[in-house]
Amino acid sequence: MKFSIIVPVYNTAKYLPECIESILSQENVDFECLLIDDGSTDGKSSELCDEFASKDMRVKAFHIPNSGVAEARNFGIRKSSTDSDYLIFIDSDDFLISDRALESIEHLLMESYADVLIYNFKEYDSKGLEDKSNNFNRESIKGVTYNEVLNNLISSGRVTHLIWDKVIKRQIVIENELFFLKVERLEDSELFGRVIKYAKSYDYCEEFLYAYRKRKGSMTTEAITISKINDYQEIFNRVDIEGEEIADKLSRRNFYSYSAYPYLAALGISEFFFDKKKIKKENRKIRDFSYLLKYSDDPRVKNVSLVYRIFGKKVTTFLLKVAAKHRNFIVK
């Protein structure tokens, strides 16, 4: 079994060595590490990519004009070896916690050969590692259909809207052309929503394998532009189309249930749109997709859906704005 680990790199020289070394320390597993330098300008990140590639044959360094994380990941997918079985995405400022992380993943996949495996992660900041995952027993998803497995994982809050806590079968991605949409936000959510449409088996790793580096940043200091609002609208237009193409009722419910949480994030984030004359009109477009709140299998959606039914749109979007301001959404 072989893994292709795709790492988009942009001006992260401070963290990149720890990231790459955590990958290269993996034991007893066949893998390649693809470093996609997305036009770094810090004078060091590009050099580090080449340096690691020159020292270890498992590392391949590529340099592309700055195009954003979505295009960098897409480049990595296309460059991944045809004999690779699974794709893993790691952000260049994050790292693997254990030197046996890939071995743990391989052990489970040799048993299940699942299309998708989800693993646990911890947040990392100045205070160290903090557990942000829910407890979930892998045994509870054995012997049931893939739709039931996915619904159990969603209902337990274990299907995040991130791409770096998942292992995805390369064949599914390539055959169905599942590439990242070039948008300014929610690209992880949008991509994995389409993976759900095609994946027919899931597995879960209870171990904590990944460290997500929580870096400083405030939603209120980032301008929410009209292009970002349009991105949200495009994403949920796609959800409409993709959902209608799913014939099986439980499969469609799982797809909508997964899409409901990023919809909440879009509602909250869009409240920071600085052009107040246009905010009502543009937000109205996003609110057209409020039907997603009916699919409240995700416990986070269930609470907001209840508020929405009782207090309406205005109160709900205000509370979502507060949540976004305090960084309670980890959605990419």
Residue among 99, 97, 123, 96 nearest 212 (CA): 123
Residue 229 has pLDDT above 60, yes or no: yes
In the chain, the amino acid numbered 287 is R
Least confident range from 121-130, 160-169, 231-240: namely: 121-130
How far, in Å, CA of 90 to CA of 5, rounded? 7
| Residue 274 CB-half CA count within 13 A | 8
pLDDT per residue as tens digits for the range 171-206: 999 999 999 999 878 899 999 999 999 999 999 999
More confident residue, 313 or 72: 72
Residue among 1, 9, 15 nearest 75 (CA): 9
Please give the C-alpha separations between residue 288 and each of 70, 81, 197, 203, in angstroms, as whole numbers: 26, 42, 23, 34
What pLDDT, on the 0 to 100 scale, is given for residue 195?
Answer: 96
How far, in Å, CA of 190 to CA of 187, rounded? 5
Residue 130 has pLDDT above 60, yes or no: yes
What pLDDT, on the 0 to 100 scale, is given for residue 66?
Answer: 95
Q: How many CB atoms lie within 10 A of CB 122?
A: 16
What pLDDT, on the 0 to 100 scale, is given for residue 220?
Answer: 37
How far, in Å, CA of 302 to CA of 310, rounded? 13
What pLDDT, on the 0 to 100 scale, is given for residue 219?
Answer: 38
Looking at every residue in the chain, the average pLDDT score rounds to: 86
Q: What region does 160 belong to: left with phi over 0, alpha with psi -120 to 50, or beta?
A: beta
Helices 226-244 & 276-287 angle (0-180, nearest 10): 10
What pLDDT, on the 0 to 100 scale, is given for residue 109?
Answer: 97
Residue 143 has pLDDT above 60, yes or no: yes
Residue that is written with structure tokens 């990944």 in the block: 210
Residue 134 has pLDDT above 50, yes or no: yes
Q: How confident is the model at residue 332 (pLDDT cuts 50, 70, 90)?
A: very low
* Tokens linked to 23: 């990958």
* Tokens linked to 156: 């337990």
Mean pLDDT of 101-115: 96
Mean pLDDT of 57-67: 97
Q: How many CB atoms lie within 10 A of CB 245?
A: 9
What pLDDT, on the 0 to 100 scale, is given for residue 325?
Answer: 62
With residues binned 3-state (H G I as helix, E B as strand, rest as coil), the percentages for the chain, rounded to 5, are: 50, 20, 35
Residue 239 has pLDDT above 80, yes or no: yes
State how far Cα 65 lies from the chain centre.
Answer: 23
Give the domain ranges of the chain: 2-220, 223-326
More confident residue, 86 or 143: 86
pLDDT per residue as tens digits for the range 76-99: 999 999 999 999 999 999 999 999
Please say whether the structural domain 2-220 has been given the CATH code 3.90.550.10: yes
pLDDT per residue as tens digits for the range 246-290: 999 999 999 999 999 888 877 776 665 545 555 555 555 666 788
